[in-house]
Amino acid sequence: MDVENWILGNTPGAELNIKIPQNIASIIPYPPGKPLEELEREYGIKNSIKLASNENPWGPSPKAVRALRAELLNLHRYPDGSCHYLAAALAEKLGVDSAEIVLGNGSSDIIDLLVKAFVTEGDEVITSHPSFLMYQKNVQVRGGINYVVPLKDMRHDLSIIKDMVSEKTRLIFLDNPNNPTGTALAPVDLYQFLSDIPESLVVVLDEAYVDFMDKEFRVDLYSLIRNSEGRCPVVFLRTFSKAYGLAGLRIGFGVMPAEIAACLHKVRQPFNVNQMAQVGALAALEDEEHYQKTILRTRKGLLFLSTEVKKLGCKAYPSHANFFLIDVRGKADEVYTAMLAKGVIVRSMSAYGLENFIRITVGTEEENNRFLKSLAECLN
Ligand SMILES: Cc1ncc(COP(=O)(O)O)c(C=O)c1O
């Protein structure tokens, strides 16, 4: 990196006589949510509900909780650095080989590893706007160049993305369903896109919300991993943070051709997945009942909420995930603040350039009703 491009940051530490590289100084940190307890104290409220982070409102799998309790006594040991049992269980479930799976400290870790392994200074990465913010941030950390393509009709604009590909492109990130819009790509369009993309770069299909997506929208993971002849390789990202209800444990994974997995293993920390996460995820994977209940209840909640918000004069956008966008037909920041004062935490989309939109996660029945009541009051 060119030393002349380095500047002193205006962050705490700026008083130190150190040089912070330009690409790091210019990063806008991922907006951290305040702990619920802090918000409650600040606003003088109680029993607040959080529908802002696309978590599972019904909690973790009871099987996972039991397995985690039993594992507590082994915390003096380092975890299994290869995630042997979990990788084997996932491989069996997905019909792939363990060598095609890389586990991480959340799927965010796999995004970081991909960028670390494939992007050096000046390399190009294509993402969409709005989409999950961590792609661009990781690229910035490595000194790569982000090409950000605006969504078209709330969907990834595959034709423009294809046109942006150059010899320097290393990765393309597509979250499908997309966060924050909840839209999914038609499989036929996605297959066509993948066959149009050169073999020299990697397309990352981030399927954090795939569990909520209708079967006819899903692409065939097995064939896209195994038969890459004549088209670009594909990496799938999955997570235990959403449908499996283990966001706090931090565990996710990527499924990819073994050669790419080998590169990621080279750059990861030896113990990047803690022991509790491995044990909890393995048990959650076997808890089909909790998983199916979550999917059913989410779908029911999504239908209910979108019908009800329309009655309040808002526009609800169809979603394939456990969240959806609402056009509140007024300033989203104002609605967000008014709802916060009532103890209902949603996400304002104004920072994404969607001034009139909020994003909400489907909650429990009780949470959904409370959300609707607060929204009605705030809109009035
Ligand atoms: C599209 C998308 N990808 C990845 C993630 C990261 O999930 P995690 O790191 O919890 O696995 C999120 C989290 O909200 C997301 O929305």
Q: How far is the CA of 57 from the centre of ligand 1 (A)?
A: 16
Q: How far is the CA of 71 from the centre of ligand 1 (A)?
A: 26
* Domain-embedded: residue 177: yes
Percent of the chain with pLDDT over 90: 86
Q: How far is the CA of 208 from the centre of ligand 1 (A)?
A: 6
The token pair that represents 94 in the structure block: 């997905």
Structural domain for 129, as ranges: 74-285
Write the residue with the smallest CA distance to atom 12 of ligand 1. Answer: 208
Question: Would you state the torsion angle of the CA atoms of residues 325, 329, 334, 340, taken in this order, to the nearest 10 degrees?
Answer: -40
Lowest mean pLDDT among 90-94, 129-133, 164-168, 226-230: 226-230
* Domain-embedded: residue 65: no
Burial of 358 (0-12, 13-18, 19+ CB in 10 A): buried
* Domain-embedded: residue 251: yes
Which of 251, 285, 319 is the endpoint of a domain? 285
Residue 65, SS3? Answer: helix
Question: Do 275 and 313 share a domain, yes or no?
Answer: no
Question: Ligand 1: does its nearest atom lie under 6 Å from the Cβ of 55?
Answer: no
Question: Do 188 and 167 share a domain, yes or no?
Answer: yes
Q: How far is the CA of 242 from the centre of ligand 1 (A)?
A: 8
Question: Do 266 and 198 share a domain, yes or no?
Answer: yes
Question: Ligand 1: does its nearest atom lie under 6 Å from the Cβ of 107?
Answer: yes
AA letter at 224: L
Question: pLDDT for 252-282, tens place per residue?
Answer: 999 999 999 999 999 999 999 999 999 999 9
Give residue 32's pLDDT band: very low, low, confident or very high (50, 70, 90).
low
In angstroms, the CA 24 to CA 142 distance is 9
* Domain-embedded: residue 64: no
Question: Do 22 and 120 share a domain, yes or no?
Answer: no
Which of 266, 285, 304 is the endpoint of a domain? 285
* Domain-embedded: residue 105: yes
* Domain-embedded: residue 256: yes
In angstroms, the CA 249 to CA 280 distance is 8
Question: pLDDT for 209-246, tens place per residue?
Answer: 999 999 999 999 999 998 877 889 999 999 999 999 99
Q: pTM of this prediction?
A: 0.94
Question: Do 314 and 335 share a domain, yes or no?
Answer: yes
Question: Do 116 and 261 share a domain, yes or no?
Answer: yes
Q: Kindly give the number of the ligand 1 atom that is closest to the alpha carbon of 54.
A: 14
CATH of the domain at 42: 3.90.1150.10
Q: Are 325 and 354 in contact (CB under 8 A)?
A: yes
Question: Ligand 1: does its nearest atom lie under 6 Å from the Cβ of 239?
Answer: yes
Question: Ligand 1: does its nearest atom lie under 6 Å from the Cβ of 322?
Answer: no
Q: How far is the CA of 132 from the centre of ligand 1 (A)?
A: 7
* Domain-embedded: residue 69: no
Q: Kindly give the number of the ligand 1 atom that is closest to the alpha carbon of 247.
A: 10
Alpha helix positions (H), the chain: 22-25, 36-43, 62-71, 84-94, 107-118, 134-141, 158-164, 187-196, 221-226, 258-267, 275-285, 288-311, 332-341, 365-379
Question: Do 117 and 48 share a domain, yes or no?
Answer: no
Share the mean pLDDT of the chain. Answer: 93
Count: domains in the chain: 3
Question: Do 12 and 51 share a domain, yes or no?
Answer: no
Question: Do 152 and 225 share a domain, yes or no?
Answer: yes
Q: Kindly give the number of the ligand 1 atom that is closest to the alpha carbon of 132.
A: 1
Question: Would you state the torsion angle of the CA atoms of residues 80, 84, 87, 92, taken in this order, to the nearest 10 degrees?
Answer: -160
Q: CA 258: distance to chain centroid?
A: 23
Question: Do 273 and 212 share a domain, yes or no?
Answer: yes
Burial of 29 (0-12, 13-18, 19+ CB in 10 A): exposed
Question: Ligand 1: does its nearest atom lie under 6 Å from the Cβ of 208?
Answer: yes
Long-range CB contacts (within 8 A, 24+) of 352-356: 352/129, 352/130, 352/180, 353/129, 353/130, 354/130, 354/180, 354/325, 355/331, 356/327, 356/328, 356/329, 356/330, 356/331, 356/332
Question: pLDDT for 302-357, tens place per residue?
Answer: 999 999 999 999 999 999 999 999 999 999 999 999 999 999 999 999 988 999 99
Which of 255, 285, 315 is the endpoint of a domain? 285
Q: Kindly give the number of the ligand 1 atom that is closest to the alpha carbon of 178.
A: 1
CATH of the domain at 179: 3.40.640.10
Q: How far is the CA of 295 from the centre of ligand 1 (A)?
A: 17
pLDDT at residue 282 in the model: 98
Give residue 42's pLDDT band: very low, low, confident or very high (50, 70, 90).
confident
pLDDT at residue 15 in the model: 73
Q: Kindly give the number of the ligand 1 atom that is closest to the alpha carbon of 252.
A: 11
Q: Are 344 and 379 in contact (CB under 8 A)?
A: no
Question: Do 133 and 246 share a domain, yes or no?
Answer: yes
Question: Ligand 1: does its nearest atom lie under 6 Å from the Cβ of 184?
Answer: no
Q: Are 28 and 183 in contact (CB under 8 A)?
A: no
Question: Do 343 and 253 share a domain, yes or no?
Answer: no
Question: Ligand 1: does its nearest atom lie under 6 Å from the Cβ of 57?
Answer: no
Pocket test for ligand 1, best of 137, 174, 179, 181 (most atoms within 8 A of CB): 179
* Domain-embedded: residue 68: no
